[in-house]
A = this chain, B = another copy of it.
């Protein structure tokens, strides 16, 4: 896991080559104004000639600073998270941070390991999208850490730190209400891990939409699953086998919706014609899928940008009051071609 490169050209070498002291050379690489133009030029020339590469690691060690940010997400292969990451990158780049990336694949063990890795690597801050099974231990650990942390997407109970997330309840309400307005009275809720807050909040929106419309909920139409396409496919097949398939389905995420679409098709049912489906997230695929997927936009990229910006802000002002940014979702209606 490690490797020994050849000897680096050090600032010492540069200083010697230019005939100045190490301290002076250091000032120059840091763009300090208090150094004579002539000296600077001399040193810059030496840097160039020797092919000197600044050692940020050594500098950070000495100055007790950090220019890297640990970003922990669930899965780069999931478009929602890659869009989120895109936003994070765009924002952090502005401030000159470098991103150390970790992916948990929704495993608590991986999450704990990654947090350790980030700390061992002296990151200046952590952007954490917690796994669905995050325990209070994770929370306690983060609490005792003296490092800025911003939690994204999934909130951790009892953890009072900055948070950026989505109003899942409002999103679910929009989606389910849309189906109700289309005349549906029986609406399934498919997918997602039911003991995560991202699920319970959607459930609350699902419930509220039913209540406001004076409809009762058929709990046999609510099936959770792994938050993947495969999970969605399996869940819908179970529903079909039990012969309880309704005419409308609200899916936990677009990914789940695609699984549902594939599952339906496998069973000879035509999604979009026989059945109305609404997703959640508005990942780019939703725009070109068939049938075109009506969904709730969770603005993944924007969420990433907000989270990164919040982290940066927290790093500058550790004492400011914690913030909680909730992005409001939007219903994206897509009609059949």
Tell whether, in the assembled complex, residue B95 and residue A86 are in contact, meaning their CB atoms are under 8 Å apart.
no
**Given A82-B82, A284-B285, A289-B288, A3 contacting B61 (CB threshold 8 A):** no
Does B58 contact A96, Cβ atoms closer than 8 Å? Answer: no
Give the distance in Å from the alpha carbon of A79 to the alpha carbon of B65 in the complex. 34
Copies in the complex: 2
Interface size on A, residues (CB 8 A): 69
Q: Determine whether A261 belongs to the interface, using a CB cutoff of 8 Å to chain B.
A: yes
Binds B, one of A32-40, A141-149, A159-167, A175-183: A141-149
Residues of B within 8 A of A65 (CB): 2-4
10 A-B contacts (beta carbon < 8 Å)? A1-B67, A1-B96, A2-B124, A53-B116, A53-B120, A54-B120, A56-B121, A61-B61, A99-B101, A285-B285
Does residue A269 face the partner (Cβ distance < 8 Å to B)? no
Report the bound CA distance from A58 to B57 in whole Å.
8
Interface membership of chain A positions 100-123, coded 1 if the CB is closer than 8 angstroms to chain B and 0 otherwise: 111100000000000011011110
In the complex, which residue of chain B has the Cβ closest to the Cβ of A82?
Answer: B82
Q: Is A241 an interface residue (CB 8 A)?
A: no
